[in-house]
Amino acid sequence: MSGISKKINPPSSKAENAFELTSLFEFSTVVNASLDLKFIFNHFLLTLMGKFLSLKGIVLLERRTNVFMIENVKGLSTELINLEWKLGKIPNRIIFIKAEKKSRFPWLKYFQELGVTVLIPLSTRNRIVGVVGFAPLKHDKKFSEKETLYIKSIFNIAAVSIEKGLFIQELGTVNRQLDRKIQELNTLFEVGKEFNTVMQRERLIKLLIFSVMGQIGVNRYFLCLEEDGDMRVVAEKLDRRNREDVCRYIPYLTKPKLVSDLNNKNEKPWRLWMEEIGIEVVIPLQLQQQTRGLLALGEKLNKDNYTEKDLEFLSSLGNLAMISLDNIRLFNDAIEKQRMEDELLIAREIQKGLLPSTLPKIPSMDISAVNISSKQVGGDYYDVIQLSSHHFVIAIGDVSGKGTPASLLMASLQATIRALVPLGLSLSELTKRVNDLICDNTTSGRFITFFWGIIDTESMKLNYVNAGHNPPVLVHSDGSMELLEKGGIILGIMKDVSPYVEGIISLHKDDALVLFTDGVSESMNCDNIEFSDEKLRSLIIQNRKNSANEIMNSIVDSIKKHAVDTSQSDDITLLVIKA
């Protein structure tokens, strides 16, 4: 017999082993391809029952210490699913129910009553997380070595898949909790936006009450807010007989509480009074960690109990309202200041709208310009106007004063220039007419320093008039310098003045012409020292070989370094032309 066994059994054994390995591989592939615990349990039971010809199967997982829930059954009533059994300690081995002492494991009777004969623990990382029961035919006391190995293999595979499925299930629970928290945060965000749009105290209080009623829904409430050091009712829904008692207590609470939890000797009398008027929770409203109000709510309309999440939400909602109420107070205190800022904003927009957004391209010329506004909006102005294909007007001015009046006068100057330039008059005559119109349309004390010229790109000549403005600097390629000073008095002082003198210069290759306002040369540092005309001229000479934009940037950077840590008191305006 042994000889026959040696000749015949090995091939059969190899075939069986190959079959079992294939079966285990297929089982592993199927269960590991799914994250659905129900599917894993179902396939696990079917595989196990099919291997051992069992008509019954059951899977339980531990949900709490020694408490197991039935997750899946085969050949048994589906009403068993989701029932919880307290099993006690489970030995980490195959359990043949008939061979075990029932006095040692009394919980085995649950399975015996169902006709289950074998139990196998599901363990991961040396911890039993579940148990599987079935009723194999002719196997109620012992398994062979191969069967035991197969069971261990399939259980190890299943345990890994189940652990993975449990992790995904737990992750899903956490995600759902996170989704609820996100929903609450979104609600608070939306309510916060609504709070921030309300600028009347009474409307905000109503909005807070409506938000509470919409989210929680209560049968009674009252809201107290601190006013001049006293707590006063600003909204309530209570029996009128209790009206005078509502503000008896000035809240010292720092956290929301159920009224039933107010148990210390100071809180107890107040708790009894709250219970008498039907209040169940109290929510302190805080600002800068100080209680400035109290929201008290009665029973929910749906009769549910208040949860910790309800208290947390109501506290966040109330504190958002307190922040908005404080914002309203600050807003009302700062109305006058805001009006002044609005005026400056209007002036800045006027100024910005009048300055050219893009500069026209001048043949044979490189041109750059910048205007940096100060906090106190001034009336700096520059412009480049194309008259023909080779004639271009360049202009720069500085209106006296600050704010909207200065910006409006600058607008008047721009409109006057653009209206008169097409007339074809000489610059001298045009300047006189601009002066007369400014005098007719401004009050005394307002004036404009102004420089403008017409560039002829064919002859490379610049005709100009300087009406009391800072003389533009013309630096030649060899470093020599000219100041463009010819002209007359500033605009807006008096009408019918002597004719403005017209100057003329020639522009040569690599000449640099810089027009600027007094915000450049008179920029102060922390020691009250001016940037100065001399420093500006020296800087232009040093950078004369650079492009117009590079010259302009070098001047701006030098001014910023000079005036570091000092607020800018006047606009900085530059117009740089490089031939």
For the chain, list the domains and their CATH numbers. 2-170 (3.30.450.40), 198-333 (3.30.450.40), 343-578 (3.60.40.10)
Q: From CA 394, how far away is CA 382, in angstroms rounded?
A: 8
* Beta bridge pairs of residue 127: 124
pLDDT band at 62 (very low <50, low <70, confident <90, very high): confident
Lowest mean pLDDT, pick from 104-108, 336-340, 423-427: 336-340
In the predicted model, what is the mean pLDDT of residues 320-347? 77
* Beta bridge pairs of residue 298: 279
- By CB atoms closer than 10 A (0-12, 13-18, 19+), residue 407 is buried
Q: How is residue 115 annotated by DSSP? A: T
What 3-state DSSP class applies to 494?
A: coil
User: What pLDDT digit, counting tens, does each position of 213-240 carry?
Assistant: 888 888 888 888 887 777 888 888 887 5
Average model confidence (pLDDT) across the chain:
83
Whether the per-residue pLDDT at 91 is higher than 80: the answer is yes
In the predicted model, what is the mean pLDDT of residues 31-42? 74
**Predicted pLDDT at 446:** 81
State the residue for tokens 């015996």.
112
User: What pLDDT digit, counting tens, does each position of 255-313 carry?
Assistant: 888 888 887 777 777 788 888 888 899 888 888 878 888 898 999 988 888 988 888 88
**Predicted pLDDT at 248:** 60
Q: From CA 268, how far away is CA 461, in angstroms rounded?
A: 95
Q: From CA 286, how far away is CA 320, in angstroms rounded?
A: 9
User: What pLDDT digit, counting tens, does each position of 454-511 carry?
Assistant: 999 999 999 999 999 999 999 999 999 999 999 999 998 888 788 899 999 999 999 9
Percentage, residues of the chain above pLDDT 70: 88
Lowest mean pLDDT, pick from 235-244, 423-432, 439-448: 235-244
Q: What is the CA radius of gyration of the chain?
A: 45
Contact call for residues 314 and 216 (beta carbons, < 8 A) = yes
Whether the per-residue pLDDT at 33 is higher than 80: the answer is no
pLDDT band at 3 (very low <50, low <70, confident <90, very high): very low
Q: From CA 122, how far away is CA 112, in angstroms rounded?
A: 19
* Whether the predicted model's global pTM rises above the 0.75 cut: no
User: What pLDDT digit, counting tens, does each position of 373-389 carry?
Assistant: 776 666 788 999 999 99
**Predicted pLDDT at 241:** 56
In the predicted model, what is the mean pLDDT of residues 336-357? 73
Higher pLDDT, 349 or 297: 297
**Predicted pLDDT at 21:** 67
In the predicted model, what is the mean pLDDT of residues 432-439? 90
pLDDT band at 12 (very low <50, low <70, confident <90, very high): low
Whether the per-residue pLDDT at 246 is higher than 80: the answer is no
Whether the per-residue pLDDT at 431 is higher than 60: the answer is yes
User: What pLDDT digit, counting tens, does each position of 530-567 carry?
Assistant: 899 999 999 999 999 999 999 999 999 999 898 887 77
Q: From CA 157, how far away is CA 480, in angstroms rounded?
A: 92
**Predicted pLDDT at 243:** 53
